Structure 1
Amino acid sequence: MGEKTINYDRLKQGGFLHQKQHDEDLFSIRLRIVGGQLSAEQLRALADASEKYGKGEVHITARQGLEISYIPFEDADALLDELEERGVRQGTCGPRVRGIVACQGNRICPRGLIDSEDIAKKIDDKYFAMELPGKFKFGVTGCPSSCMKAQENDFGVMGGLEPEWVEDKCTYCKLCQTACPADAIRVEGKTLDYDREKCILCGQCRLICPKDAWAVSKEGYTIYVGGKVGRYPRFGVKLTELVDEDTLFRVIERSIEFFKKEATPGERFGDTIQRIGFEKFRTFVLE
């Protein structure tokens, strides 16, 4: 029998990255981590696998992923089987939906306005590793602080809150003015001016007010599209703001449909939008 032929393209689909040590045929194995969340048992599984099959090292990628390096090809199946038994699944590379990044959102962070982990998991469940013309990256961030850089992803989701001033509860203490990062609130004596055009929907006025003088007028998901980093970075464009969850997932579905229909092989989402035209894209996904 001849030597076993290795299909490296197929391995890459499953998150295998051929290392520079070609003479030893070693791989880094990328794993499927949703929103950077891992249980203690998953961490123990990773430690055990890296010591048993690799060099006892686990690399944290720039997108909250994990890679175990120095894995001989012949050990890959055994490693993946052991990890899967303990709740750690295989990742992906190439022209498909990559791992979903997310902050902890309102489960943990006082500034969080949405449940980022929940949205990331729903996106992952439906779209992870979907074959597309080019790589496609989702980022979910809990508020306009944008810790997860929603504007740098092909499709970015950001929590937002539009405040409403409740005049009869206000003591004009100016705490909201001090907390507002956009200079959208001005208090002079017994007069308060709120500039909706300046507001970035962060909800800091509501968070800091000791008298509940700021209520919620509207809240939801703000969507950015077409962002990317790499050799030719581009900032994503705001598509719409404060939509509900059903609308968010309809926009995701239509965006992917647009990308499949219009993109050329290897093209990024933002490049497709730019080539076809933002208004045509906007009409397709929203109207």
Structure 2
Amino acid sequence: MRSFFSQKQSNFSTIRLRVPVGIIYVEQLDALKEVAARYGSGRLHLTVRKTVEIPGVANKDIPRAIAQLASVGWYSSAFGDNIRNVVACPGAYSCPNAQVDTQSLGLEIDSNFASEEDLPAKIKIAVAGCPNSCTHPILNDIGIIGVTRVKVLQDKCERCYICVEDYCRENAIKKSEEGQVIIDPEACVDCGECVGKCLSNALVAESRAYRIFVGGKLGRHPQIGTYLADILTIPEVVDMVEVVLAVYKKYGQPGERLGELINRLSMERFRQLVVDYRKQKVKVACAQLVY
């Protein structure tokens, strides 16, 4: 996989390093500093996809620089029609707003698909731990957002209505005509922020999930991704990413981004192809299990 690109300056290139979900370990920093000082311009560049670039490397020095970086776990980033660096927020590791483990999911996706080849065009994947969407998942080819479905336990609710007045910035917690506290599904964004605030423990998480969007992109003609599915576990999300990529490989035209494929086929048709492929995959897995 190519790890550098030519600069405007003749005989110089920029090395780009993959940083899955933005995690850098301290033992990697010394080598990064040394390579940038010895072979580069002494500067580093952090890209919008959380990769690290070392500009100003003479072409003759690229093999030695890359070898030194690889010795401490720095690997090349993707160029061309590949899976670009997977972006994820800190998630449940440290963010109080996060509803899911974003970093484990992002690393799992990177581990499974970083070397994916023969794609019609590049694929960008981003994971956000909550609907605040700090990593802009709906502007990626595959975007994943952590969500929480909230349930009101009516037998525990004391009808104080503090939650109706104070707990939800979306005004999704409401009082029904019968006096019950209810969640308005049209207003609720499934952020889960209200869970745990109720002194009677009447607001609880019914389920937590990874909400998947497909077909988003930036560039000259930006496009917002379209909802595909809610998935409950990391292995199931990885499986869904595999299915989406398989459909994209089969039906995408050279140079066609995932969102452009969906526009050409329609979201309804694309969703059906995903469903059909998943069914076929299950049949194959069952056959392998039996025989």
User: Does TM, scored on the shorter chain, surpass 0.5?
Assistant: yes
TM-score scaled to structure 2, two decimals? 0.88
- Whole-angstrom CA distance in 1 between matches of 2:199 and 2:74: 44
Partner of 2:95: 109
Match of 1:198 among 171, 178, 187: 187
Partner of 2:54: 68
SS at match of 1:158: strand
Partner of 1:15: 3
- Whole-angstrom CA distance in 1 between matches of 2:104 and 2:239: 17
The CA deviation at 1:135 is 0.4
Q: Which runs of 5+ in 2 are unaligned?
A: 277-291
CA contact (8 A) 1:160 1:242 kept: no
- Whole-angstrom CA distance in 2 between matches of 1:112 and 1:201: 11
- Whole-angstrom CA distance in 2 between matches of 1:65 and 1:210: 44
Does structure 1 residue 126 correspond to structure 2 residue 112? yes
Kindly tell me: are residues 85 and 210 of structure 1, through their superposed partners in 2, closer, same or farther at Cα, counting changes over 3 Å? farther
Partner of 1:282: 271
Does structure 1 residue 231 correspond to structure 2 residue 220? yes
- Whole-angstrom CA distance in 2 between matches of 1:134 and 1:193: 45
Partner of 1:138: 125
The CA deviation at 1:242 is 4.4
Equivalences for residues 201-216 of structure 1 within 5 A: 201-216=190-205
- Whole-angstrom CA distance in 1 between matches of 2:198 and 2:132: 19
Equivalences for residues 6-85 of structure 1 within 5 A: 13-22=1-10, 25-85=11-71
The CA deviation at 1:196 is 2.1
SS at match of 1:169: coil
CA contact (8 A) 2:15 2:54 kept: yes
Q: Which runs of 5+ in 1 are unaligned?
A: 1-12
Aligned residues: 273
Does structure 1 residue 164 correspond to structure 2 residue 151? yes
TM-score scaled to structure 1, two decimals? 0.90
The CA deviation at 1:190 is 6.0
CA contact (8 A) 1:186 1:193 kept: yes
- Whole-angstrom CA distance in 2 between matches of 1:156 and 1:255: 12
Does structure 1 residue 261 correspond to structure 2 residue 247? no
Partner of 1:174: 162
SS at match of 1:285: helix
Bigger mean CA deviation after superposition, 119-128 or 250-259: 250-259
Kindly tell me: are residues 93 and 182 of structure 1, through their superposed partners in 2, closer, same or farther at Cα, counting changes over 3 Å? same
- Whole-angstrom CA distance in 2 between matches of 1:177 and 1:67: 49
The CA deviation at 1:52 is 1.2
Partner of 1:7: none
CA contact (8 A) 1:176 1:205 kept: no
CA contact (8 A) 1:174 1:187 kept: no
- Whole-angstrom CA distance in 1 between matches of 2:60 and 2:44: 19
SS at match of 1:219: strand
SS at match of 1:205: coil
How big is each residue's C-alpha offset from its partner over 1:57-104, in whole Å with a ceiling of 9 and x where there is no partner?
Answer: 110001111100000111111111111111211111111111000001
Structure 1 counterpart of 2:209, one-letter code: G
The CA deviation at 1:219 is 1.3
Runs of 4+ displaced beyond 6 Å: none
- Whole-angstrom CA distance in 2 between matches of 1:270 and 1:62: 20
Partner of 2:233: 244
Bigger mean CA deviation after superposition, 188-197 or 32-41: 188-197
How big is each residue's C-alpha offset from its partner over 1:115-158, in whole Å with a ceiling of 9 and x where there is no partner?
Answer: 11000000000101412110001101101111111101000111
Bigger mean CA deviation after superposition, 124-133 or 243-252: 243-252
Kindly tell me: are residues 264 and 167 of structure 1, through their superposed partners in 2, closer, same or farther at Cα, counting changes over 3 Å? same
Kindly tell me: are residues 242 and 216 of structure 1, through their superposed partners in 2, closer, same or farther at Cα, counting changes over 3 Å? farther
- Whole-angstrom CA distance in 2 between matches of 1:142 and 1:251: 18
Aligned-pair identity (%): 33
CA contact (8 A) 1:98 1:129 kept: no
Bigger mean CA deviation after superposition, 165-174 or 186-195: 186-195
- Whole-angstrom CA distance in 2 between matches of 1:166 and 1:284: 39
Bigger mean CA deviation after superposition, 40-49 or 270-279: 40-49
